[in-house]
Structure 1
């Protein structure tokens, strides 16, 4: 399922990953992460592979807003060379009313931070989608936000 949260006052600020993970009712520890196309409000985070433990330390010990970023979730222990890192800035697949899939083929799901004004969820399962939508009732299906 692909969802987007934008144009709402239900969040203090968009793309606060602590709140995103909480709303999805998941723990960073449950996955390994490939993080790419990163721009933050000041904290420098390296593009590439991060364990869930490492990522959780980063997002819980800092008041960080991701302006642009793609978080791709994988089963724990996954590591491989990524030839084309996922990107969000300028990616037309979010807005063409298609049903995009995570940009890395083996990813379970993807979370995209869009210009600090939207949170995009790609390929989340129905349980995660229901949890997120119960917290952020302004969430809509991404295909309905096509521009």
Structure 2
């Protein structure tokens, strides 16, 4: 498990999920994604409503939505799950949260949801945490954001 903390995206702010989802490989986009503990500047899509605790969408659909309308996710936990994972199984444990979650800042890197594969956390619109079981996803983010990212384990150890 590896993780990064990113202080700025190319669009100038860390909460632009279109930029993030555009970097993902197709196999990750084919997975289902849970969005939880989210707060946005606007809520233009019925699939990501203002009054729900979570949204459950395929990565390809999220990528399409995020490329239609620029949404700033001030807070949000985006978690992908292995193909075949059912929502009823995911909802057996508490929904992942960012705000007030002290485990995000521990040296041992873990995805909040025990069934998750990859996780993006927009933390107060100031940093983006990227964690994945797939080292190739982490390598892609290091390549894209080498000057504005740090290894999360190292960052949390200091």
Q: Same fold (TM over 0.5)?
A: yes
> What SS is found at the alignment partner of 2:142?
helix
Partner of 1:51: 58
Name stretches of at least 5 consecutive residues in structure 1 with no aligned partner.
none
- The one of 74, 85, 90 equivalent to 2:95 is 85
SS of residue matched to 1:3 = strand
Structure 2 counterpart of 1:2: 3
Deviation at 1:29, TM superposition (A): 3.1
Q: TM-score, normalised by structure 1?
A: 0.85
Q: Which runs of 5+ in 2 are unaligned?
A: none
What is the CA deviation profile of residues 32-55 of structure 1, one whole-angstrom value per residue up to 9, with x for unaligned ones?
001100001111624132122332
Residue 10 of structure 1 deviates from its aligned partner by 4.7
Question: In structure 2, how many angstroms separate the alpha carbons of the residues matched to 1:91 and 1:139?
Answer: 21
- Partners of 2:61 and 2:139 in 1: how far apart? 27
State whether residues 118 and 133 of structure 2, in contact with CA within 8 Å, keep that contact through their aligned partners in structure 1. Answer: yes
Aligned residues: 144
With structure 2 as the length reference, what TM-score do the two structures score? 0.80
Cα 1:133–1:43 shift into 2, 3 Å: same
Note the aligned Cα RMSD (angstroms). 2.1
Structure 1 residue corresponding to 2:105, chosen from 68, 71, 95: 95
The residue aligned with 2:78 is 71
SS state of the match for residue 34, structure 1? strand
